[in-house]
Structure 1
Amino acid sequence: MPIEGVSVEPRFLLLSDVAAELNVSDSQVYHMVRSGELPAIKIGGRGQWRVERARLEEYIQRKYDETAEWVRGNPLTERDVE
């Protein structure tokens, strides 16, 4: 029974929801899922893709970690400053 005033986010997201969350196209998310970069499951008779919210959050954290590592390995130089 839902508690009034408390919203519960769904456990699984449509690829279009993931695209909106990441501000990318649906086709980019589809490629991420099909390549295995973003874990997802296929459900139902028509094989619709779903991404678990927890996996999306893990993916986002992994991207933050990868970006931080890249920044450490590629320090800003004078010519990069605009």
Structure 2
Amino acid sequence: MTGSDGALGRFLTLADVAEILNVSAGQAYGLVRSGELPAIKVGGGHWRIERDRLEDYIAAKYEESRRSGLWRQAEFTDVPELFIDR
């Protein structure tokens, strides 16, 4: 759904989302159906995802990855101290 200037509009199709995330259309649909990616159904059952909601989803995934990395890093920081023979 591109405008005259070539930029995508406020709402994206599942195909747009799949392209942006570099996933299949089925995977994009799965994100919507699971509620992980908020979307609305318009017209004859066509899903639309607001660009801002997609950006929020992407930001949340980056944060999730960052926290997971920190957790894994912290998880092993104190391990040697636990197993030191005294």
TM superposition score normalised by structure 2: 0.76
Q: TM-score, normalised by structure 1?
A: 0.79
User: Larger relative contact order (C-alpha < 8 A, sep ≥ 6)?
Assistant: 1
1:43-62 matches, within 5 Å, as: 43-44=42-43, 46-62=44-60
Question: How far apart in 1 are the matches of 2:70 and 2:7?
Answer: 38
Name the residue aligned to 1:41.
40
Percent identity at matched positions? 53
The count of aligned residue pairs is: 70
Which segments of 5 or more consecutive residues in structure 1 lack a partner in the other structure?
1-5, 78-82
Runs of 4+ residues over 4 Å off in structure 1: none
RMSD over aligned CA atoms reads 1.5
Per residue, is there more helix in 1 or in 2?
A: 2
| Matched AA of 1:28 | Q
1:3 corresponding residue in structure 2: none
**Larger Rg, first or second structure (1 or 2):** 2
